[in-house]
Structure 1
């Protein structure tokens, strides 16, 4: 029997599983069925959530205690033609817990806008100046001259005054008032100012004279209290 060969035995293990794929499919189906049963049991064990759109349960209204009848037999007095209705919080038009009478409080009126009338100031027409001046040359000589500003008070009361004279170059030697107390002399570049030492009476005048060298007899400017002089 040496010439006879034995038939090969079927192998087990991974080779058998690979040769029989229906076994793997059947195992997967069993696992899926078990998982489905577990999921259904967990879903049925949960409590259903309340519906968000459903209204909340109504709260019971408080009951009004019944008033026992009067032992004398008289009914509870009520207003004529009306019956007493129970007070329900939030539904009854009558307020509860407040005093029946009290001082009336009137609302404070709001202050309205204040209107202020604006008055236009009345313009007073300007009249003639109270004090004026008239310029003239009293004496001329070689190298200089003597000039004069006659200050006239046209107001109804005594007035002080200030004369301002400006020249193109030259040198001021002196300045004085004829026949009156002297005032204050202040020089600046190109001229001088002279303030009175005493007021001029109403309707009166005061002659201010000055000695000027190496200058034109016609001033560049002459004013009395800011008003331009006449005569040049």
Structure 2
């Protein structure tokens, strides 16, 4: 029996741990798992800070720009119900629907009257008209003329009435045709044609006045005022 040797017992302690490296690895993994669970629990227990919370004490608040067109908030009554789609913070009242005004009614009588062409006939020029001019002026008098024009489509007779200032009438004549009838009145004369003036034609009545003004007081042909003065 004395010749038998006992087998050496496995040693415990740091020497055993050092001889088995997988024990160290396993223990490290366990510690990391425990720390991970602890960190997750602490994170879930914390409440997230609000985004619109007040800034830290001691820091000045930046000025908030206010638009000149921003309306002031209108307080709502305590018992008033909020309309769907409207926020209690909305400023002012909702825009009202524009009222479309109907066009004024037009009476059918007025429309027909405005659309109806005017029945008034355009004013036509006179059939016979006259144009006055001074043919020749000399010491003591002048020779005047009234050109009678027939714008109608038929031959027409005519009458000239001529009024002058001062002086006297010496004579009247129409060249190349039979003479008409002359009647002198105070400050003037009238001449009735001896022959008709042809359609679309003209005839010149001339007269000699002494010591009279070259600007007549009046001149008419068939009652229509002469032109040229």
TM bracket (short chain): 0.3 to 0.5
TM-score by length of 2: 0.47
TM-score by length of 1: 0.47
